[in-house]
């Protein structure tokens, strides 16, 4: 299977990854709400638990709402997507450590980890939009982490809004290109 065939298959089976980005954005918004109402630690726990649900919920949305077909067996890009999860887990562990010693850095660390993982999705789905999304999240997380004071905003709400906007762009561009189910 050549790379373009594998990418088209992944884009078709996972609606260009847009449901995953949308679910992730919604999880970040919920975490932001928890942060505002119950503190940064509970917001982080919400992000962590919600993050575990992103893949199954996005797969369910792809199959049920978008009627996306299952991917081809043996697509090597499925393995690449799975392997990139390990760098995400490393980022989660780092963010968890920050939560204990510098809670204001936990959310920016998560954004950097997620942003870096999105860079791999450029290859998985064949869309340069993932470089823009990954770069935006990683740069925003790094910029906020370097601020000399406490976070001046609810970081999680902003990341959630960024992801929801990019999910919409992925939906629209995928449909326009004919790479995702209508």
How many domains are contained in the chain? 1
Cβ atoms within 10 Å of 131's Cβ, excluding its own = 13
Residue 94 lies in a domain: yes
Domain residue limits at 108:
3-175
Give pLDDT, residue 177: 77
> Which residues, 6+ apart, have CB-to-CB distance to 73 below 8 Å?
none
Any domain includes 59: yes
pLDDT of residue 68: 92
pLDDT band at 180 (very low <50, low <70, confident <90, very high): low
Query: Is 150 among the domain residues?
Result: yes
Residue 180 lies in a domain: no
75-100 pLDDT, tens digit each: 999 899 888 888 889 989 999 999 99
For residue range 28-74, what is the model confidence (pLDDT) as tens digits?
999 999 999 999 899 999 999 999 999 999 999 999 999 999 989 99
pLDDT tens digits for range 105-151: 999 999 999 999 999 999 999 999 999 999 999 999 999 999 877 76
In a domain, 125, yes or no: yes
Task: Determine the Cα angle at 37 with ends 85 and 24, to 5°.
Answer: 25
Q: Give me the pLDDT at residue 152, please.
A: 60
Note whether residue 30 is domain-resident. Answer: yes
Do the domain assignments include residue 25? yes
């Amino acid at each position: 299977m050549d790379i373009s065939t594998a990418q088209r298959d992944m884009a078709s089976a996972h609606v260009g990854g847009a449901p995953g980005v949308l679910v992730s954005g919604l999880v970040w918004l919920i975490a932001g709400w928890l942060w505002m109402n119950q503190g940064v630690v509970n917001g982080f726990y919400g992000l962590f638990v919600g993050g575990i649900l992103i893949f199954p919920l996005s797969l369910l949305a792809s199959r049920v709402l978008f009627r996306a077909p299952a991917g081809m067996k043996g697509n090597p890009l499925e393995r690449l997507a799975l392997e990139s999860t390990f760098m995400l887990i490393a980022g989660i562990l780092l963010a968890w450590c920050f939560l204990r010693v510098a809670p204001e850095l936990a959310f920016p660390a998560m954004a950097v980890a997620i942003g870096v993982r999105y860079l791999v999705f450029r290859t998985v789905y064949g869309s340069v939009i993932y470089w823009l999304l990954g770069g935006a999240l990683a740069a925003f997380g790094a910029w906020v982490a370097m601020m000399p004071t406490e976070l001046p905003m609810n970081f999680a709400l902003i990341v959630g809004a960024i992801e929801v906007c990019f999910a919409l762009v992925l939906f629209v561009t995928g449909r326009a290109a004919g790479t995702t189910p209508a």
